[in-house]
Structure 1
Amino acid sequence: MQKRSKLDPYVFWPAIAVLLIITAVLVSFQATIAPLITQGLSIITHQMDWVFEFLTFGIFVMLVWFAAGRYGKVRFGEDTKTPAFGNFSYGAMLFCAGMGTSIMFWSIIEPMYYYQGPPFQIEGQTAAAAEWALSYGLFHWGVSAWAIYTLPTIVIAYSLYNKGNKSLKISQACKGVLGHSADGWLGRIIDILVIWSLVGGLGTSLGLGVPMIAAGIGDLFGVEQSALLSIGIILIWSVIYLTSATLGLEKGISKLSNLNVYLAVTLALFVLIVGPTSFLLAYFTDSVGQMAQNFLRMSFYTDPVHQSGFPQDWTVFYWVWFACTAPFLGLFVARISKGRTIKSVIVNMLAWGTLGGWLYFAVMGGYAMDLQLTGAFNVVQSMADNGNAQTIINVLNTLPLAKLAVLFFVVLGFIFLATSLDSASFVLASTASTTAGDGEEPAVWHTVTWGILMAVLAISLLLIGGLKVVQSSTVMVAIPILIIYILLTVSILRWLRQDHGIQEEQ
């Protein structure tokens, strides 16, 4: 029988209160607060650009050192030799939780933004701009992004399975530095910050996913875009992920994630086969080469002389955003990583995450660029006239068997976001529980409560137009998140040195 963890009232009730109060304030005074949030975000990305670029690259180097060195052999749960999940299910769950509808949206749209406003003072909508467009997409959704996701995973998993900290919380993973302070008010503040950043991250997924799916349904059934349609989409999502969440990790989230990956790969292969196959493969190959050759340049690009704002608006914003949402993925993936070594988790996360993102950018982004360059369809003009969500559907409508492709895309979008919300409700419930031991999951009612709260919050924000200000506000926790990353890094280094530092002398 499944063991159920108990609710932690010192995290649950304050988190609910903070969530509702901040949301109410942001929405009630959004005309005043929205410009302040925009200004604050600009200060973070423009004044701290070098901080987040060094942080991201430093994390990547440290993970490579972990995987290649003696610490890579350290197993999460030293008494366990077999991972709880096979490589496919493991990779499927971490990819679906980490990417969701974002990869479906940005893989088509993002390269077109770079084509119009490329880096390095290149003229927009030229051959040179097209060469950089996909390269930057691969860079932003590649190993650097997944390195940001991987560090919290490693520290949380070590805390959970090797240090006996049975609470699945970021605060416990900082215990290597904070000590018993992690169990007090400081730890609770950290956990509440993480919950807020997670809810904002889900707001972004909804902000991207709802219009995109609504445009697809409108195209298929001739339904007019409306708030009612958006609410219907959220309610259907809620039913899917609540059903899955009540089944638990193995029967619910794992199965849904596996299905998701099969569907995602099928759609990508369909576009690759019926589309301009030779161009897609050649364009991807060329873009990988260009990105690899310029990886250091792109990693540390701040453009202080020309001040184009490109690295701040794209690269630095992404690193900040990924850092703010990474604790969620770290908590979830740590929970499913028992029995794996540090090297296995690092390699799986960097490889699965990167390859999944690259597949969609290579196929969907490459296809959109081919339409633009050949004149078969003006994607840039469609973005200006119809918006990004409708442009995605317009691009799909240029394929053979277009209606089938759009239907497949809509179904995939539904399941993708349901998987992300599924994982999120599990993590929220785990964070607000007292323990998360072996084979222990939050009570079903607790997981469902978070799921219902997120659905109600999303519908309310959609109706009153407050979704954008809430999701933007999440990035404002970037400074405390930066401090949390430092705490996590020091914690794992201290723990590994204490527990395994003398291995090479023995």
Structure 2
Amino acid sequence: MLERLQRRLGLQTIPGVFFTSAGIATLFVAVAVPFDEAVARNFGLLTGWLARNLGWFYILTVSTLLIFLLGLAVSRYGNIRLGADDSRPDYSNLTWFTMLFAAGIGTILMFWGVAEPVSHFANPPFAGVQPRSEQAAGDAMTIALYHFGLHTWTIFAMPGLAIGYFAYRHNLPMRISSLFYPILGERAFGPWGWAVDVVAVLGTLFGVATSLGLGTLQLNSGLNYLFGIPSTGPVQVILIVIITSIAATSVALGLDRGVRRLSQLNIVLAMTLLAFVLAVGPTVFIAEGMVQSVGDYVDALPWLAFWTETFTESDWQRQWTLFYWAWTISWAPYVGIFIARISRGRTIREFVAGVLFAPTAFTLVWFGIFGLSAIQVEMSGQVALAEQVRQDPSVAIFAFLETLPLAGVASGLSVVIIVIFFTTSSDSASLVIDMLTRRDDQPSLVRQRIFWAAAQGAIAATLLLAGGLDALQNVITALGLPFCILLIFMAVALFRALRADYRGYSMNELVQGRAFPEVEAASEITQENEYVSETVDRY
């Protein structure tokens, strides 16, 4: 029946994945619009239950995956390429980085770059720390880097590495279900695999919709500041329609002509804004603060990565860390596939180092310039930033820029950057969802990509009308759990495949259970000893 419907509509898809995903998304919008309060309330209850009972699971999973990726990078598997042994990267390092940044957390940094440090500075989460104290300032920067540094990019890097490895080295389809081929075998291309891809599609839709919702709130605040446009639900829906239309145009142009050029333009604009704030802001204070923040972050990371508020009854982690991890996990399929798409030819060591550390370094600079400058403004009493953030985080960056020279120009540039980040997130996600819902031998139809761009806009508008920021946080925290579980299985499948690859076994031998027979145990031990001996000799 679904295949007949596909032929009638002239689509090129995997019917079970496309129509199931589209149907669930449509059903959510259809139910959430007339019953917005009930939907928001139920997701709030579900999020509360998850935070109380499974918050530790999110935190343990992400921190363990970070250790796993770093271990792969420094291990013998680090030299394995995402492709044939003689393959080389498709993009230069600079182009690769700009695309990583635009597809990853550009919108998030614009929203929280001022709001988060100022919020933690005024309301420290750690017991015994005085608000607005020197300790509170240092902790605020450390927490911001924790939330947007190595841990966030671990969540993106895990599926990106696995997808790139299986797609380019073993010629499997670039879909999340392919990652489970070492576990499921041929069943990865049937209903079991389709179910995995549906989870990935829905996570991507709602994760990106959350980012679009936050971007819309901030864009509306900027337009209100510049032109007096009211910050209301109808205005935000209109903004989503406009930006979705721009994204649909970009996604119709494809990866190289659309997403790549927008990404390069946006990184130039973002760097211009950074340079401006650094030049006219407290430059020496920023420089000193960034150096100190690196040390504070490195020092606090081992315990902060496993901190679960066990001995307190605070709701802080639910509102901040769990929301971030679930949000990032939910759209990890999209960012992972996008990163894999632009990373062919790189070694595992290059991939892990680039995806984890380059964006983290940029995050340090971003929060160092915006966050430290905003903390200095709050300390000096120029503007009550903390109070404005408490009332509406979306106005934070514009309230901060108002304290600088050429505030109108800087705010206008910020609006442009937000629009482009908004667009690149939507159009690259549409390209990825289209890849998840069709076979590799099927053409990518423009109307399918446009449909997914429109679906993201519709979900974002629905969530905003259903409760704004609270609804965005609650829905995404609940929906991140299924893919969090998939990330664990993904790491297991990748490690099994890498072990087999290193010892010269094919993927079929691994699936059929012939990669590690018991009779070869002795030879494996010998290989291990030879490897250790070679390593010792080299050093």
TM-score after normalising by structure 1: 0.92
Deviations 1:326-367 (A, max 9, x none): 121111111121111111111111122212222221111111
Report the counterpart of residue 272 of structure 1 in structure 2.
278
Report the counterpart of residue 155 of structure 2 in structure 1.
148
Alignment of 1:355-394 (within 5 A): 355-384=361-390, 387-394=392-399
Report the counterpart of residue 515 of structure 2 in structure 1.
none
* One-letter code aligned to 2:40: A
Q: Decide whether the 8 Å contact of 2:117 with 2:140 is kept in 1.
A: yes
Q: Decide whether the 8 Å contact of 1:30 with 1:466 is kept in 2.
A: no
Alignment of 1:153-192 (within 5 A): 153-166=160-173, 168-192=174-198
Q: Decide whether the 8 Å contact of 1:200 with 1:472 is kept in 2.
A: no
Query: How far apart, CA to CA, are the structure 1 residues paired with 2:138 and 2:82?
Result: 42
Deviations 1:72-124 (A, max 9, x none): 11111116522111111111112111113111011110012211221320232
Report the counterpart of residue 236 of structure 1 in structure 2.
242
Q: Decide whether the 8 Å contact of 1:84 with 1:336 is kept in 2.
A: yes
Query: How far apart, CA to CA, are the structure 1 residues paired with 2:85 and 2:71?
Result: 25
Alignment of 1:83-482 (within 5 A): 83-121=89-127, 122-166=129-173, 168-384=174-390, 387-435=392-440, 442-459=444-461, 462=464, 469=471, 472-482=474-484
Query: How far apart, CA to CA, are the structure 1 residues paired with 2:349 and 2:406?
Result: 43
Aligned residues: percent identity?
32
Q: Decide whether the 8 Å contact of 2:107 with 2:418 is kept in 1.
A: yes
Residue correspondences, number: 497
What root-mean-square deviation, in Å, do the aligned CA atoms of Structure 1 and Structure 2 show?
Answer: 2.3
Distance 1:106 1:476, change over 3 A: same
Report the counterpart of residue 501 of structure 1 in structure 2.
503
Q: Decide whether the 8 Å contact of 2:119 with 2:389 is kept in 1.
A: no
* One-letter code aligned to 1:485: L
Equivalent residue of 1:24, what SS? helix
- Higher alpha-carbon deviation: 231-240 or 360-369: 231-240
Among candidates 475, 490, 493, match of residue 492 of structure 2: 490
Pairwise CA distance, 1:422: 1.2
* One-letter code aligned to 1:287: S
Distance 1:33 1:239, change over 3 A: closer
Pairwise CA distance, 1:470: 6.1
Distance 1:29 1:365, change over 3 A: same
Q: Decide whether the 8 Å contact of 1:83 with 1:338 is kept in 2.
A: yes
Q: Which runs of 5+ in 2 are unaligned?
A: 1-10, 505-526, 532-539
Deviations 1:420-444 (A, max 9, x none): 11111111111111117xxx97222
Q: Decide whether the 8 Å contact of 2:32 with 2:466 is kept in 1.
A: no
Q: Does 2:15 match 1:13?
A: no
* One-letter code aligned to 1:419: T
Deviations 1:238-293 (A, max 9, x none): 23322221221111111111111111111011101100001111122222211211
Equivalent residue of 2:170, what SS? coil
Pairwise CA distance, 1:294: 1.4
Query: How far apart, CA to CA, are the structure 2 residues paired with 1:49 and 1:230?
Result: 32
Query: How far apart, CA to CA, are the structure 2 residues paired with 1:464 and 1:324?
Result: 20
Deviations 1:188-241 (A, max 9, x none): 121111111111112211221112112212222233334453234223322332
Distance 1:444 1:322, change over 3 A: same
Q: Decide whether the 8 Å contact of 2:187 with 2:193 is kept in 1.
A: yes
Equivalent residue of 1:190, what SS? helix
Q: Decide whether the 8 Å contact of 1:26 with 1:470 is kept in 2.
A: no
Q: Which runs of 5+ in 1 are unaligned?
A: none
Distance 1:240 1:18, change over 3 A: same
* One-letter code aligned to 2:99: M
Q: Decide whether the 8 Å contact of 1:302 with 1:312 is kept in 2.
A: no
Pairwise CA distance, 1:471: 5.8
Equivalent residue of 1:76, what SS? coil
Query: How far apart, CA to CA, are the structure 1 residues paired with 2:380 and 2:67?
Result: 40
* One-letter code aligned to 1:261: I
Q: Decide whether the 8 Å contact of 1:248 with 1:441 is kept in 2.
A: no
Pairwise CA distance, 1:384: 4.2
Pairwise CA distance, 1:464: 6.1
